[in-house]
Amino acid sequence: MTLIKSISGIRGTIGGSTDENLTPLDAVKFASAYGSWLLKRNETGKKLNVVIGRDARISGKMISSLVSNTLVGLGIDVLDLGLSTTPTVEIAVPLEKADGGIIVTASHNPKQWNALKLLNEDGEFLDAAEGNIILELAAAQEFDYAEVDDLGVYVKDRDYLKKHIDEVLKLPLVDVESIRRAGFKVVVDAVNSTGGLVIPQLLDALGVECIKLFCTPNGEFPHNPEPLPKHLEDISKLVVAEKADLGIVVDPDVDRLAIVNEDGSMFGEEYTLVACADYVLSKTPGNTVSNLSSSRALRDVTQKHGGVYEASAVGEVNVVELMKKNKAIIGGEGNGGIIYPESHYGRDALVGVGLFLSHLAQLKISSKTLRDSYPAYFMSKNKIELTPQIDVDGILNAMASTYKNEDLSTIDGVKIDFEKEWVHLRKSNTEPIIRIYTESDSQDHAEALAQRIIEEIKTIAKI
């Protein structure tokens, strides 16, 4: 059982003992720290309000209730969206002129996990400095709760999924008419979370025929919720059986989007961003940003349209920071996370669906044909479990020293760029592991590079 405290929030497994898992006491402690941080920043003395939403995890209602009532106890008003998505809460915060937001979700982690994702008044994730302050407040546990006449007010709003859809439909580059005329037939796998509510509603608004697979929001994930090819055999088969134009896969909190081609093959999570960026850049030329673990294909497509590509450290807040600095018009992460500032600075699968279908409808080609039009890169994603005996920083330093004569980046772990391939080694922000991502000109080469690096790490770590 695990509890991970990071600048982006708190994430852990349900049950067990405090300070080692995400127990009710831990949820209250970190909600208290977040609320206290908001109150300390409040120089006007006004009543504060926070938007909260959750995915469909079994523990979601419990954790959400604890968090909401803790904020109320601090004298902060709460707008509870109930079953929602990460991007929906991100959009709701500025629309409601709220002072912050919390999403109760562990994203792609299995059902025993849950987490508090923390947002600022812009509906964006906290930066490192802000996150560290909250961790310090949580450690000190010196909270000052409100007296009875000053308690916050708790209000529900269950219409925000529709409001989110309306915001997507208003985007100038979401070509609703072209999508309607295309007559798409789409299979949706929402891993029995809130994507099962909102993605079919979005597709219906776009005039797309939707076949639902795992769209009951009960939190009983029918497969590993991370949208990787090995977890998507069911939708792959159903797309072919139904003669659908494509499949749409989202993770439990609907900030990641993966596409399945009409022949059941994977469009590739990495290429969701590539396709959406290709479409956006063809209409509004500009710059792009993704993280160090994302495919070179985005760089190629950006340069094709005359833009400049840059890579940030892994983590949505880092991507957003670099996007703002370099005035990127689209960016995101290679895990299927689309960040489109015209909407908001957050990964959003709904925006991704709108842009992707618009691109496909205007080109009047199949999903597989579109995928084949992009540079052919192949990625291998691996990991090594951490133990207390492993000196992770020592391993990364040793690998950096070994490859010091290559094109090297150490802004986030170690990224080694070779002529035709690369490897990125880093500690995960959300799990006790070292991630090892490689990319090359064939799947065999990517996997061979990964195995070579893993053996080198094992030799260094003596495991």
Residue by residue, DSSP assigns 270-318 as HHHHHHHHHHHHHHS--EEEEETTS-THHHHHHHHTT--EEEE-SSHHH
pLDDT of 462: 77
Residue indicated by tokens 């205007």: 362
pLDDT of 460: 87
Instruction: Tell me if 276 sits within 8 A of 349, measured CB to CB.
Output: no
At 88, is the secondary structure helix, strand, or coil? helix
- What's the N-to-C CA distance of the chain in angstroms? 23
Residue-by-residue pLDDT tens, the chain, 463 positions: 568 887 667 999 999 999 999 999 999 999 999 999 999 999 888 999 999 999 999 999 999 999 999 999 999 999 999 999 999 999 999 999 999 999 999 999 999 999 999 999 999 999 989 999 999 999 999 999 999 999 999 999 999 999 999 999 999 999 999 999 999 999 999 999 999 999 999 999 999 999 999 999 999 999 999 888 889 999 999 999 999 999 999 999 999 999 999 999 999 999 999 999 999 999 999 999 999 999 999 999 999 999 999 999 988 999 999 999 999 999 999 889 999 999 999 999 999 999 999 999 999 999 999 999 999 999 998 988 877 677 888 889 999 999 999 999 999 999 999 999 999 999 876 566 789 999 999 999 999 999 999 999 988 887 6
Instruction: Tell me if 219 sits within 8 A of 373, measured CB to CB.
Output: no
pLDDT of 44: 87
pLDDT of 431: 65
Q: Which of 218, 232, 256, 233 lies closest to 111 in space, CA to CA?
A: 218
Residue by residue, DSSP assigns 355-392 as HHHHHHHHHT--HHHHHHTS---EEEEEEEE--TT--H
Report the distance separating Cα 69 and Cα 32, nearest Å: 10
Report the distance separating Cα 236 and Cα 225, nearest Å: 15
**378-461 topology per CATH:** TATA-Binding Protein (3.30.310)
Report the distance separating Cα 199 and Cα 164, nearest Å: 11
Report the distance separating Cα 253 and Cα 56, nearest Å: 8
Calculate the alpha carbon distances from 115 to 27, 63, 118, 221, 296 in Å: 9, 9, 10, 17, 31
pLDDT of 320: 97
Calculate the alpha carbon distances from 117 to 7, 53, 138, 283, 334 in Å: 10, 10, 15, 33, 20
For 142, other C-beta atoms within 10 Å of its C-beta total 9
HEC readout, 143-197: CCCCCHHHCCCEEECCCHHHHHHHHHHCCCCCCHHHHHHHCCEEEEECCCCCHHH
For 44, other C-beta atoms within 10 Å of its C-beta total 6
Q: Which of 320, 284, 449 lies closest to 382 in space, CA to CA?
A: 449
Pick the CATH number of 3-158 from 3.20.20.70, 2.115.10.20, 3.40.50.300, 3.40.120.10: 3.40.120.10
Domain span(s) for CATH 3.30.310.50 in the chain: 378-461
Q: Which of 7, 100, 72, 22 lies closest to 321 in space, CA to CA?
A: 7
Pairing mode of beta strands 257-260, 246-250: antiparallel
CB-hemisphere CA count at 13 Å for 408?
14
Pick the CATH number of 164-372 from 3.90.1150.10, 3.40.47.10, 3.40.640.10, 3.40.120.10: 3.40.120.10
Domain span(s) for CATH 3.40.120.10 in the chain: 3-158, 164-372
At 237, is the secondary structure helix, strand, or coil? helix
